[in-house]
Structure 1
Amino acid sequence: MATVSDDLGRVAATPAAFLDDAAYARLARLLVDHAVAERTFVPREVDAPYRIWGDNLESTAVQQLKNACKLPVAVSGALMPDAHVGYGLPIGGVLATSEAVIPYAVGVDIACRMKLTVLDLPVSAVMDDQTRLAGALERETRFGIGASFRSRRQHDVMDADWRVTSVTSGLKDRAWAQLGTSGSGNHFVEFGELAVFDDAAGLPRGEYLALLSHSGSRGTGAQIAQHYSRLARELHPELPRELSNLAWLDLSTEAGQEYWAAMELMGRYAAANHALIHAYIARALGVDVLLDIENHHNFAWRERHRLPDGSEAEVIVHRKGATPAGA
């Protein structure tokens, strides 16, 4: 059973996490304000190395990557050819850090992903059977901000432990209502033609009808991102304005471990959204699935890499609008 001494120890370790606490908010505010007065930002002596893929990229996106490589936790970075400005780390940006996770380097839509399903339908159906295909899309998922289902869909992800953090626990009901929906913005579900030129995908060469979707962890993931990004900024008040959205959580702390657990849960939740969208559409059309391919691109992974100095180490690799090359 936790004692007052235990509580005070936790407040002292991460005061920003207790700013809204009924019992310890005043003490937490004093500790945070003291930290602000005492701390100044100390960047790396030499910026972390980075690599840019492509030419004539947005100058503001390049500058965002350069800013990220000044962080004391930064190890190395990379920028993809289609990179553009984002919160903190540019979209299309990759950043490896040492035992720290940056919520805005993962992204607001945690575990946003794409999934492609090859269906046992002739390619000609895209033109010849548009009404049936469009009807399946409209019935079997939902589009728009706040879109949800009246009759909740079932998936094992809702049997997972959503109590890994108080934030995820409070969002479970909303997440369930939006399970299997697509959202808004640049998120979509659409049919198209897939051309297979070799045997790598496990399909004979030829043209296929495929279903492609792009979306993530919906409003639930966005609220988690906002909560822990705010917490990270409060823990690092010393960061200059241009780096404030790159505030990090130390993975040895309770806050860092909470975010990591929430991020991994959102990875499972986003995958479940796509699984249901594709399964329900295939079932509505009465067709078999020939192949599924998917991966998320707003996530952080623990990976072992050879560093620029030739040594090897485990790092936290953030990929925002980017995905592992071997995926």
Structure 2
Amino acid sequence: MTQLAPTKHPFIADGEATAILPTGGKQKPITVIGTEAIRETFDDFCVQQAINSRLAPGVTDLVLNPDAHCGYGAPVGCVMVSPTHVYPGPVGVDIKCSMSLLQTSLPADAVVDKQTRRALIDAICERTPTGAGRGQRNAAKSRPVDEALGQRVLVEGASKGVCEALGIPPEWATRCEDSAHVGHDDSTAALALRLERLLPHAHRFADKMSQLGSYGGGNHFGECEVVEVGDDPRSQSVAETFGLVDGGVAFLSHCGSRGIGHQLATGQFKALQAKFEQWNIPLPGQDRELVYAPLGTAEADAYLDDMALGANFATVNHLLINALVLEAFQQVIPGATGQLVYFISHNIARKEIVDNRPAWVHRKGATRAYPGGHHALAGTPFAQTGHPILLPGNPQAGSAVMVADPGAVLSRYSVNHGAGRQLGRKAAKRALNQAQVDQSFNEADILSNCRHYPIDEAPAAYKDFDEVLRSVKSAGLASEVARLKARFVIKDGDKADD
């Protein structure tokens, strides 16, 4: 791809935590969210990807969030808007990678004892396998999913029938950003037809369905948290609406569509890249990962259908993980109950109203952020407050639950999806010391299922979470409702899915 000459300060600041990035053309500049310290974490490659994405056909808006770093075609941590085209790159290969939060009825004291926490880790790992290639056969107490049920999951998403078949409380679907996705024509029938065409060519379909209710590798995780709600009246009121309990035990999860999402996404990249070569179409920035399809074409329809199939799997995967985690808590601490707080994606394209017309909002490592009063929240439990925003930081700095403010219109109602990497995986392995990483977790009294905490996932591999949050708050996008403090972490050392 075309490289940008090294530039120390390519941004034009227009606020404490906002700036613009000109593209060199007449197009609307890129909106940048981040303090000066955060903007200095954006390297030339990330900046060039942002410019390539902004100049791509049909793109009307590009937002760079404070967690931004180089990604697949478009930067991880960006928002890309187009009313006329769909792009696989700004969704990526882990379709609908997401966050979910389960609030339990347990007080913080229930997870003070290390023996209890170790028992909880073991009980969860018996039900929810971790690792890039692992599924139900790797967890003795997981839920069996045959091919027929797997097909229903892909087509229906978190329907009442699918939830009941998997032992998921059906009411949890009301706590999802999107509980089910439909095909390009807004029908479930389109997904059923698309799946029928794909199945004869699907590689190891049964194995991929067996991954339902599992974490992937790399940056995917499950984390036992203690909730600390802010002292201000607004935080306490919003937390009550969200169902957060100050001083209570919660469980935060990060994962996506696993092997089936990867297969669907890579198939789409290959198909569209072949079309570009066949038709001799120039690639944006000469980047093969920025292929696209104009809306209304057969290619766009196929992509939207495949994205919806993968997204439905990711949704049910999260809900099943939460059901299994709650079951594990109940095994170790009888009488525990739990309620899903929210499930929200950060790798998805959604059809939304932008500047009074429909457009596809691609969020790559970016999270939707609708404030109270937004028309899309009418009829939901969050119509007055805005919906929960789940932002993972790192186990030692904590994670955050936020709520959008009206200023989020600046970022097309989006915020960052977490802290964002400041060291690549290879760089982290070179720069960090395993013994020191493990010792830091011991000193923080945070347990893990790993013998050695994955060094490329160590807190130092990520940006300063407090500075990232300061960027979001100072830009007027969202306010912090609660901080989540980790008590133990479920991880895997394999390569990240997304």
Task: Name the TM-score, length of structure 2 as normaliser.
Answer: 0.53
What does the per-residue CA deviation read over 1:103-144, in whole Å, with 9 as the maximum and x for residues that have no partner? 111111000001010111121233312122111221110011
Q: Which residue of 2 aligns with 1:26?
A: none
Gaps of 5+ in 1: 1-42, 307-311
Mark the CA change 1:316 to 1:81 in structure 2 (over 3 Å): closer, same or farther. same
Question: Which of 122, 129, 144 pairs up with 1:135?
Answer: 122
* Alignment check: 8 A CA contact 1:48 1:70 kept: no
Q: Secondary structure at the match of 2:218?
A: coil
Q: Which amino acid aligns with 2:153?
A: V
Q: Secondary structure at the match of 2:126?
A: helix
Mark the CA change 1:132 to 1:243 in structure 2 (over 3 Å): closer, same or farther. same
Instruction: Please say if 1:119 is aligned against 2:79.
Output: no
Q: Which amino acid aligns with 1:303?
A: E
1:290 is displaced (CA, Å) by 3.6
After the TM superposition, which residues 278-289 of structure 1 pair with which residues of structure 2 at under 5 Å, given as runs? Answer: 278-286=322-330, 287-289=336-338
Question: Which of 238, 246, 252 pairs up with 1:200?
Answer: 238
* Alignment check: 8 A CA contact 1:50 1:76 kept: yes
Q: Which residue of 2 aligns with 1:209?
A: 249
1:277 is displaced (CA, Å) by 0.9
* Alignment check: 8 A CA contact 1:118 1:291 kept: yes
Q: Which amino acid aligns with 1:152?
A: P
Question: Which of 301, 312, 328 pairs up with 1:257?
Answer: 301
Instruction: Please say if 1:183 is aligned against 2:175.
Output: no
Instruction: Please say if 1:296 is aligned against 2:292.
Output: no
* Alignment check: 8 A CA contact 2:85 2:292 kept: yes
Distance in 2 between residues matched to 1:144 and 1:75, nearest whole Å? 38
Which stretch of structure 1 is more off in the superposition, 263-272 or 215-224?
263-272
What percent identity do the matched residue pairs reach? 32
Q: Which residue of 1 aligns with 2:376?
A: none
Q: Which residue of 1 aligns with 2:42?
A: 58
Q: Which residue of 2 aligns with 1:109?
A: 94
Task: Name the TM-score, length of structure 1 as normaliser.
Answer: 0.79
Q: Secondary structure at the match of 1:206?
A: coil
Question: Which of 82, 104, 110 pairs up with 1:97?
Answer: 82
Question: Which of 16, 22, 26 pairs up with 1:46?
Answer: 26
Distance in 2 between residues matched to 1:291 and 1:179, nearest whole Å? 18
1:274 is displaced (CA, Å) by 1.0
Distance in 1 between residues matched to 2:48 and 2:285, nearest whole Å? 14
Distance in 2 between residues matched to 1:74 and 1:109, nearest whole Å? 22
* Alignment check: 8 A CA contact 2:32 2:64 kept: yes
Aligned Cα root-mean-square deviation (Å): 2.3
What does the per-residue CA deviation read over 1:62-111, in whole Å, with 9 as the maximum and x for residues that have no partner? 22111111112211110100100001000001101132111111111000
Mark the CA change 1:81 to 1:116 in structure 2 (over 3 Å): closer, same or farther. same
Q: Which amino acid aligns with 1:47?
A: Q
Aligned length: 280
Q: Secondary structure at the match of 2:95?
A: coil
